[in-house]
Amino acid sequence: MKNNVIYLAGGCFWGVQAFFDFQKGIIKTTVGYAQGDVNNPSYEEVCTGKTNHTETLKIEFDQSKISLKEILDLYFSIIDPFLLNQQGNDKGTQYRTGIYSVNNSDYILVKNYLKNFQEQASKTVVVENEMLKNFFNAEEYHQKYLDKNPNGYCHIDLSVYKK
């Protein structure tokens, strides 16, 4: 069976990756840059805000163990969906929140999820919902960064998820 794939931007990708690596049904995660205007940008280029990329996590998952809705519920537990171009102390367009789908059925599921979430909220939800335009793997030193650097900065309190 082919793995399902979804791309989530939730601020700094280090913490988003570490968080999803704790979850059941997640087969593989890869950090990278999505939705931008430059092919294969470097981290330094993305940090300028001029490439229009957002730090994004590619998630490959086993749908028999975790549904896309469950992934979205987890995602919304670690982001502030009302902050534009910011999560935690990280500010800039590269830290915007977004959900990027590779097929129409996932896109529609996300659209309905966001609609239902917005109906329950008193503020405007600013999470993007788009078809994936592009994704470029981040440099190797960013992959599993918090595993390699346990004291690295993270806007997500991962201590509550550690096994």
With respect to residue 62, please indicate whether it lies within any of the assigned structural domains.
yes
pLDDT band for position 106 (cuts 50, 70, 90): very high
Domain-embedded: residue 157: no
Q: Note down the domain range covering 102.
A: 4-151
Cβ atoms of residues 33 and 41 within 8 Å: yes
- Catalytic residue, chosen from 5, 6, 8, 12, is 12
**Residue 159 domain flag:** no
CA distances to 102, 110, 117, 148 from 5, rounded to whole Å, are: 7, 13, 22, 25
Dihedral (Cα; 32, 37, 43, 49), 10-degree rounding: -120
Q: Which one-letter amino acid corresponds to residue 42?
A: S
* C-alpha 36, offset from chain centre: 15
Number of domains in the chain: 1
Q: What residues have CB less than 8 Å from 58, skipping those under 6 apart? A: 5, 7, 29, 30, 31, 32, 135
Domain membership of residue 158 (yes or no) is no
| Within a domain: 123 | yes
Tell me, yes or no, if the pTM score tops 0.75. yes
Is residue 55 within 8 A of residue 117, CB to CB? The reply is no
Q: Is residue 161 part of a domain?
A: no
Determine, yes or no, domain membership for 69.
yes
CA 147 from chain center: how many Å? 18
Beta-strand pair 128-131/4-10: unpaired
103-120 mean pLDDT = 98
Query: What are the b/e assignments for 27-62, b being 16+ CB within 10 Å?
Result: eebbbbbbbbeeeebeeebbeeeebbbbbbbbbebe
Tell me if 163 is assigned to some domain: no
pLDDT in tens, 113-142: 999 999 999 999 999 999 999 999 999 999
pLDDT reported for residue 2? 63
C-alpha 61/C-alpha 124 separation (Å) is 29
pLDDT at 162: 61
What pLDDT digit, counting tens, does each position of 10-52 carry?
A: 999 999 999 999 999 999 999 999 999 999 999 999 999 999 9
Structure tokens at 26: 């997640």
* Mean pLDDT taken over the chain: 95
Identify the CATH number of the domain in which residue 9 sits: 3.30.1060.10
Is residue 12 annotated as a catalytic residue, yes or no? yes
